[in-house]
Each structure stands twice: as C-alpha cells, then as structure tokens.
Structure 1
Amino acid sequence: MKCIKIDNMLRTARLIMLAVLSGGIFAVPCGIYAQSAPRTVSGTVTDAATGEPLIGATVQVKGVTIGTTTDLNGMFSINLPANRKTLLFSYVGYEAQEIAVGRENYLNVALKQDANALDEVVVVGYGQQKKGMLVSSVQSIAPAELRMPSSSLSTGFAGRLAGVIAVQRNGQPGADQADFWIRGISTFGSATKPLIILDGVAIDANELNGLAPEIIESFSVLKDATATALYGSRGANGVMIVTTKNGKNLDKPVINFRFETALSTPTSRPETVDAVTYMQMYNESVLTRGTGQIPYTQAKIDGTRAGSNKYIYPDVDWYDEMFKNLAVNENFNFNIRGGSSRVDYFMSATVRHEEGMLKNLSRDYFSYNNNYSVWRYAFQNNVNVNLTKSTKVSLKINTQLRDTHGPVKSSENIFGMIMNGNPADMPITFPDDPTVNHIRWGGKAMVKNPVAEMVTGYKDEFQSVLNANLSLDQNFDFITEGLSASALISFKNYSYTQTSRSAGYNSYEISGTHTGDDGLEDYDLEIRGNEQSTTLATSSSTDGDRKIYIQGMINYNRSFGRHDVSAMVVYNQEETALGNPGSLFSSLPKRKQGLAG
C-alpha cells in the first residue's frame, strides 16, 4: 500500500472504485491515512545557542486546550488528535515557535532567546536593570493583575506573586488588609515585614494598601540577598518596589475613570444549634463527663420547646440577630495623563466606601447608627519638568485620607462574644419598666450580652498621610557618556485622631418565677450589680509623626558592544520625629544614615 496526495474528494472515490473493480492494489489518499487515528508525538526542547535542555517549556496543540511541559531533560510527550497537525512551543524569555508535524513522531526543537524580552527594563534597588543582566531573584507583576474588587492592595498578592505568602486575618472594613511575607521570615523580633519603597521612599503596609492599581506603573519584588543587599538590614525580609505613573508628551490628555460596586458576603459561618438542642447536648456532657456543672432542668427544656414565654425560656440566635449576609461597597477612580516635551503630568483621585455586615441595631435603641462605614480618599499628583535636555525636576505628592465610623468594640471582639454565648442563657432585652429610665438588657453572671456590648457607643477615627517627593535628575553625558546623578528630598506627615463615645448598660436576670394573675407563668427580675450610667462619655486620643528623607546618587551605565558596565553609589539619611511625644526621651528625633554601592 502506498500513499498519494489527492486534492479532489470525487477523484478519490473514483480511484478507490476502479481499484476494487480491477482487483488490484490501490493507492490510499494521504489525508485519509494520516487522519485515521490520533498519535503520540515526543521529542526534546533545547536552547538554540547552548544546546542545553529547557526545563518546563510549554508544548501545546494549536487550536485546542491540549498541552504539556518538558521534564528535567527537556523532553516531552503529547497526544496529537487526528485532525490537528500543528504544535506550539514557548518558554519565558524565548521566541515562540510553531511547527507543523508531518509523518514524524519525534521532534528536536531549538528555541532562540528573545532579545526584546532581555532588553526589557525591571525596577530594582535604587534604579533599573535589563532582564538579561539580572543575576538576582526579582519578580515583576503587571498592575492590572492586582486590580480586583477589594479595598486593600495586599489581598491581591496571594497566588499572583511567587514566593509571597499573604494571609488575610480579618474582614472588618478598614482592617481587612493581608499580612504578607517574602520567602518567609528572616529576622527575630517584631520587624518581620518586607521593606516597601514607593517612588524611592519607604512607606508602611497601610499606605501600600491605600494605593489604587490605576496609579501604579511598575511593581517589583526583590527576594534574595543579592537583590536586597543595597538596602542593608532593612531589606532582610525582602523588598517591594512600587513606582507611580508619570505623564506623557501627548497631543490631547488621556482621561480615564472607573466606577465599580461590589457585594460582600461571608464565605462561611459556624452553624449553631437552637436552645433545646444546646441544653440537651450540654446536659449530656455534664452528666457523662462529671464536670460538676449544674444541668438544665427538664422543665426549662420543655418550656423552651413549647415557646411559652420567650423571657423565661429564651431561644436567641445571636449571629442572625446581629449580622446581615450582604454589604455593598463602592469604588471610584478618576485620572488624567498628558503633557508636552517640556512638562508632563499625571493626576489621580480615588474614593472608596465600605460598609460592615452588622445590622443597624443601635437605631432600634438609640439615635445613632454605629454600623461600620469606611470612607477612603487617595490622591496622586506627579509633575515632571524638563528644565534642559539633561536636567529634569519631578514633584510627586501622594495623599491618603481614611474616615472610619463603627462600634467601640472591634468586630473580632463582637464575634467572639457571639461564639462564647449560647441561645438559652438570656433574652436580648426585657420589656420596658416605667419606673426606670434605662433599657433592661438580659444578663447572666460571667456572660456578656453581645447586642448590648455592640450598640452602647460608637467610635470615629480619622487618619491622614501626606508624602511629598521632590527630585532632581542630571545627565552628565557632556562629561562622559553614561554618567548621571540624582538627588531626592521627601517629606512625610502622618496624623491620627480617635474619638470614642460609650456608655454603660444595665443587665437584668430572672430571680424566680411565679403564676401571674392571668394564670400564666410570670417572672421576677433583679438588676445585676449596681445601676450604671447610660449617658455617653467621650474619650479621645491623637498620634502622629513626620519624616524627612534625603538621598543622593551617582550612576554610571554604559554599553560597549555586547558588554554592559554599570556602577552606582548612593547616600541616604532619614529623620523621624513624633508628633505627640509624651516624654523628653520620645521627643528626640531618630536619625539613620546609609551608604551603599
């Protein structure tokens, strides 16, 4: 049997019919023979320049979602469907190849390095480097990958940055940022967080979380000692370097705005039992394990099951009473980018609003609403002025404001009280008594009333952070090609104000039961402890600091044919002063100096 190419299907049918009628040997069309069944194609993928195997190169069948990767020896094996003839080969930093597979079942594929990818610039310590020159562990991520419906930038790290561990411990609005580490923890004590650099100046994690993805130009993570050496001991736990966008020489300014609404809901919640089931399980544990606790009486269990009196026999689902299952959050960003050959600018404004999942129960008892409500405002203004062809002055101002309103108790504390309580201990409140001028909250010894703890007061917090950077870049090509210098001075001011208004509450407990005039079971109440004042008392506190940072740097970067030579020396100095020192010792400013090369 032999294979011939036939372009016309009608001609194919005629040839087969003639061969059958003549009883002779007939030719089979190549297309039909080749597509009769799927087959396995294997081979190797190597570097075209060195011949070394490429580990983890991607091999994919074109047009379908069938793919594999090469092993430690650069070898692969893939199932090629009957109707597919093309394989795609790709590897990071190499040019992709598309190969049409003929009748062969083994391929040797050599990929060439992508010169354009090697020339891409990566932001590293105190400057930039080409990818082809990197010998340290540095990862860059596109800012668009961090754009997600979240109020904190750090919650987008998990799964998007290799080597970065991110853990979100809290869902409270304004406190839902993630804790993150780069390749674990490398130091003792409390200083275990990575160093974060924004436009050349160190910031903290709260300021990082306040950045909008729309203003970020580049985001790099320095992981190993080679990459972080220039930052000394400050970079022992890794470094994150963030640069913001600059303007461009455009005929018309580019205006962008984005508005989004996000719905938040709990991913899961602990399932709780009703009061009857709780008391039965409690009695079982007391009687079978000999704990010495007093079990619930059968009369209380039967009365709760019958629902005869919700004050004597309460059955309260504290979670459902206090939490709702949905919260609405809004996010708005507006930015404008433009300029000319002499001056360019980038300006951005971001407004975010978050609501908590607490029900507005305080409205049922008092005149205020103490549910969580967080407003965040962030402004970024970058202006670059080219004084001459070799001299540039830049001013970058980042301002973040946060206004938080909520209960005095934290959400973690409130949730803990719910989990520690049980549905059978007490009602939320007892009916009003005209002889007293306060709410009669349900209570029991050693147990707090979660609703009363949540609604009796509210707290307002206001934070502001201002970062202003003024820099000068001077090119000295007129002295020698590749020589440049820069200077940076930065001022940061942080302030925090908190005002709390809270009151005590009076809790009552049933001291006994009796039969009322109507023949129904009734109860007697007694106040627990002394009567508390229910007038809101005010307390406040302030905090803050200011920092001045100075940096000077000399750079030399030049290419000689295929060789690159670079050198750098940088000096920096930082001074921190507390805005509310409190003592003579703490009023003294802290200073540190650094020299690196």
Structure 2
Amino acid sequence: MNYKIKLTLLVSLLVCLGTYAQNTMSLKGQVSSSEDNEPIPGVNVVVANSNNGTVTDFDGNFEISAVAGDVLQFSYVGFKTQLVVVDSNTTLNVVMDLDDNLLDEIVVIGYGTQKRKNLTGAISKVKNENLDKIAVSRIDDALVGQISGVNIQATEGEAGSDPTIRVRGTGSITSSSSPLIVVDGIVVDNDFLGNLDMNDIESFEVLKDASSAAIFGARGGNGVILISTKNGKEGRTKFTYNTYTGSKEAIRGDNLYVTMQEWADKELAATGQLSDKTTYKLALQNDRDWQDIMFDGGMIESHSISARGGSQRTTFSTSLNYLSDEGVLLTDNFNRYSLRLKVDSKVGDKFKIGANISPSYSDRRRFDGSTHDVLRQPPWLPVYHNDHTIQFVDRNAYPDVQVGDYAVQRHFDNFDLYGDGAETDISTTSNTNPAAKILERDRNDYKFKLYGNIYAQYEIADGLKFKTTLGGDYSHTKRDRWQGVKASRNGVAATRLDLSNDKRLHIVSDNVFTYDKTIGKHDINAVAGFSAEQLDYEIEAATGIGYTSDLVRTL
C-alpha cells in the first residue's frame, strides 16, 4: 500500500513538472518608437508581480521567459508604460508611444521656462505631491533620496540644523561646494531653507551641469536648486489645513553600554574573584546607560493653514505655518513661525503685476557639547547625588556636596570600603559630570527672515514679453551662548557669555526680455536682460568672562 502511494505521488510530480515545462516559453521581440519606428535600447521588460525581467539591447531586442497569460510591462523614460498579455506566440514586437504629458512638462531654468523635451542639460524636477507628508523640520531634509545626483546628508543631528547638500559630488577642496539656492527668483543662503515650510512649496528644479546653470555665472558652479512656491488658483477660495504629530528617537548602540553586573560577571569568570574597585562600584547601586541621557528623543509637530483662490483677473495664495521639533539630543529644540502672501493680477490683456512676501521667525536651542562623552562614561556614575550615593562622597575633599548636586567621579575617591583604613579610588577623569556640560550651557539662535518681490510684466508683441522685478531678502540673527559655573571643572574661571548680532540685506533688480514662439514643429525661445544686486552685512559680537553666578547673564 505504501509503495502504491509513493508511486502515485511520484507520477503526479512528474506530470506537474512536465506541464510547467510545456507552458514556459522563451519570448523574443523588439521594442520600437511610434514616433520614428526606431528601436529603443534600455527599455525595462518585466513580468508583472514578479522578479523576472530584462532590458532591451542596443537594437531594441529582448528575450524573456514567460507563461501564457503572464502580463509583460514595458517602461522607459519619456514613453508611456505599456502592458501586454502573453499568448501562445513566441515573438512579440511592441511599439511604445511618447508620453506627451511628461515631455510637455514646463521646467524652470534660470530666468525662464522650457518644455522638458527641449532641454539638453541635466535638470531634475520634483513636484510637491507627497513631500509635505514627510515629518521633517526643514524642506531640504525631505529631498533626501528624491533626486539622482544630489546627496543630502545630516552632519550635525540637531533639530533645525542645515544638512550638507552636494550636487554631483564635491567641486572644491578649499571653497564652498554648496549649490546655489534660488527661491522664486531670489538668491538666498542655505540657512534660509530652515525658515521655509513644505506646505508652501510647489516644486524643486535642480540644475546639475554647467550648461543648465551657466546663466547664474560662477555662483552656479556647484549646481543650482530652484524652488517655486505655490500660486493662487482661479475659482472659489479653498481653505486647507495640514498637520502631523510624531516622535523622534536616536538609535542606540548596544556595544556602547554594558551593565555593572555584566562587568562583574566577566571579571569573575576571568579572575575567579571581584576586585575592590568592582565591589565598590556595585555598592553604589547605580546602573546608567548614558545614551538615554544624551539622546532623550522628543516630539515633532506641524500645523499649516492656507487659502488659495481668485478670479479671472486676480489670484492669491496665503498661508500661516507653525512647526515644533524637539530633536533627539539633550536640550536641542527648534520652533518656526511663518507667514506667506502671494498675489498675481492682470491689468488688461497685456499687463500683469504681482507681489510675493514671506516673513518668518525661528528660535532654536542648540546642543552645546559633544556626544563623545557617551563612549567613555562608566555606568556606575549617576547624574545627581541621591540619599544613597551621598554617603560615599569624600568629605575631606568635597565638604559642600549635597543631595541633588551633580555627581563627579572624583567625589567617590578615597573611600574606606572595608573600614580598615585602606582607601579605594575608582575615578578615571577629573572632568565634571557629562550631563552638566550640556545642561549648564545655554546656546540659542533667534532668526527673523523676510524675502519677497514685486514685479510687472508687459507683452510687447506676440511672444515677446518684458518683465521687471524688484526683490530681495533680509535676515536678522541673534545668537547667545552661556557657559555656567557648573559646566566645567574650572568653575568660575571658565564661565563665559558670547553675544552676536548679524544682519544681512540683499536687494536685486531683474529686467528681462523673453521671446517664446512656436512655429509649426519648431519652438523658438530667447532671453535677454540684465540684473543688479546689492548685498550689505552688519556683524556685532561681544564676550564676557568671569561670572560668579548663573543668575547674571549681562555684559
């Protein structure tokens, strides 16, 4: 009976394998364009809902294994994705149609616009379709991984800090390699991105190569990022409210923390007994993962309310935004408040005027210290003294230490562990408590920023327009940095207060003639104009030292 069952199963398996072999076939064919019947190399050919795929060669030919009934997906940039159901034929020739919507997409380039199909330079465009759903405090953080050839990397980790942006790598060893940032035609500094809200952004264009960014001169040598904000729309006023709330935390390193009991077990296994120092450390009854202190995590929340609408003659877009980011580091915090108003109006059939203004204010408390202390602090050291640890303090050296004071490693030296007069030391540094280095310092940035422009545009003739724009940006940054009495082992001698006041005024006037005409299948586009800019800086700084109290922070 068992023999018959096994034989039946074996025959069934062979039938299944034979059926599979008969249905699977090698499918060959060529992919060409409907525009000129030329073969298309590099087309992705994939069996839908599987990992089976290939790419057409230089002559547009492909070969792939498939089963009758499978769906083949053909996709290529600039062409419409095409789905084909496999039948019994082993030859399949596919003709792909151009994606007119993609090729006719308007791309901002310097002082004008062009259709994507007419571009010869390396330009990438990202529309804000889902970027405002990413919970980040800066708009450039939302672009991570969105644009090929653009590397955006967080180098500080603080809430509200600007990341490092590189377009096609680092272009200079000694000079800046950051790209030029242009918002609604106004050149701004990289720090300005921290005061923009993603809910106000329409799209990003990145000019990567020299030909695309040439109109900006040497400033565009490291690439150009063009940011366009949202315009008003004709129709009834539409109100929109966007919000999100979330939490942030840093990933801990398991190899950076070992409990006191684990240390004791390792020592006991290696030597057969515990040393006096290890016995003393266990007696302190403290086991602290300092990563939990330095990387305390926090909440992030954003609120944005906007209104967009208008008539055939006048459209408007306005918004009010608030963002709070508590960051992942001890003490760091970032808050931003912004307002934006954009109006465009037609006066007659040939004349158009408009204005755009966006003030913002941000306050940022920074993490004023180093996280390297996390790597070298022992788990037995508490942040503050409690009723238990205070009894181990060396009163001869530190008679004034009380419960609630910061614990320092040297506090626990010279302890008579067995009451026999022999003293045990366990400190490895004379530095103050690592938490005190952060908590007893106060470093803040307060930034008011304003950018905007007004413009007038007149159509001189069919296709010929003249546009004059007066705009600019203004920023006022106040910084204070306090190092208190308990922030250093040197006490009063190391106290310090730094104050700075930076003002920046940038005014630009653009006057541009543009000619854009389509004659049959030919597009003619020309730009001519001149620009004048003025940039003024005002910087003030002062420093005070030798403060005897944390209550007096004045110069």
TM-score (norm 1): 0.74
Amino acid aligned to 1:308:
A
Matches within 5 A, 1:197-346: 197-250=182-235, 252-271=236-255, 272-275=257-260, 298-304=275-281, 307-309=282-284, 316-324=288-296, 326-346=297-317
Q: 1:194 to 1:321 in 2, by over 3 A?
A: closer
Matches within 5 A, 1:343-492: 343-357=314-328, 371-405=331-365, 409-410=368-369, 413=370, 415-423=371-379, 428-429=384-385, 431=390, 436=400, 439=405, 441-444=407-410, 445-477=429-461, 481-492=462-473
Matches within 5 A, 1:5-20: none
Offset, 1:233: 0.7
Q: 1:427 to 1:372 in 2, by over 3 A?
A: closer
TM-score (norm 2): 0.79
Offset, 1:560: 1.4
**How many residues get paired?**
493
Q: 1:63 to 1:427 in 2, by over 3 A?
A: closer
Q: 1:158 to 1:358 in 2, by over 3 A?
A: closer
Question: Which residue number in structure 2 is paired with residue 155 of structure 1?
Answer: 141
Matches within 5 A, 1:2-41: 37-41=23-27
Can you list the C-alpha shifts for 1:250-308, whole angstroms capped at 9, x where unaligned?
Answer: 0x1111111101121223435322357669999xxxxxxxxxxxxxx92112333xx33
Q: 1:298 to 1:102 in 2, by over 3 A?
A: closer
SS in 2 for 1:106: coil
Offset, 1:223: 0.9
Contact 1:93 1:114 in 2 (8 A): yes
Q: 1:154 to 1:281 in 2, by over 3 A?
A: farther
Q: CA–CA distance in 2 between the matches of 1:539 and 1:155?
A: 30
Offset, 1:157: 2.4
Q: CA–CA distance in 2 between the matches of 1:270 and 1:126?
A: 52
Residue number among 87, 90, 102 corresponding to 1:105 in the alignment = 90
Q: CA–CA distance in 2 between the matches of 1:44 and 1:275?
A: 68
Q: 1:323 to 1:122 in 2, by over 3 A?
A: closer
Give the RMSD, CA atoms, in angstroms: 3.5
Q: 1:71 to 1:153 in 2, by over 3 A?
A: farther
Residue number among 500, 506, 510 corresponding to 1:547 in the alignment = 506
1:59 aligns with 2:18: no
Can you list the C-alpha shifts for 1:479-507, whole angstroms capped at 9, x where unaligned?
Answer: xx211111111131101112344421298
Q: CA–CA distance in 2 between the matches of 1:532 and 1:34?
A: 84
Contact 2:123 2:206 in 1 (8 A): yes
- Residue segments in structure 1 that go unaligned for 5+ positions in a row: 1-32, 283-296, 360-370, 508-527, 583-597
Q: 1:232 to 1:187 in 2, by over 3 A?
A: farther
Q: CA–CA distance in 2 between the matches of 1:209 and 1:55?
A: 43
Question: Which residue number in structure 2 is paired with residue 560 of structure 1?
Answer: 519
Q: 1:384 to 1:35 in 2, by over 3 A?
A: farther
Amino acid aligned to 1:301:
T
Q: 1:131 to 1:500 in 2, by over 3 A?
A: closer
Amino acid aligned to 1:298:
S
Residue number among 57, 62, 87 corresponding to 1:76 in the alignment = 62
SS in 2 for 1:267: coil
Q: CA–CA distance in 2 between the matches of 1:426 and 1:97?
A: 65
Q: CA–CA distance in 1 between the matches of 2:314 and 2:53?
A: 49
- Residue segments in structure 2 that go unaligned for 5+ positions in a row: 1-18, 268-273, 411-428, 542-555
Contact 2:479 2:499 in 1 (8 A): yes
Amino acid aligned to 1:498:
R
Contact 2:448 2:477 in 1 (8 A): yes
Q: 1:202 to 1:358 in 2, by over 3 A?
A: closer
Amino acid aligned to 1:336:
A
Contact 1:417 1:448 in 2 (8 A): no
Offset, 1:134: 0.8
Q: CA–CA distance in 1 between the matches of 2:359 and 2:209?
A: 32
Larger Rg: 1
Contact 1:58 1:89 in 2 (8 A): yes
Q: 1:554 to 1:173 in 2, by over 3 A?
A: same
Structure ranking higher on relative contact order (CA contacts 8 Å, 6+ apart) = 2
1:133 aligns with 2:118: yes
Contact 2:320 2:340 in 1 (8 A): yes
Contact 2:239 2:307 in 1 (8 A): yes
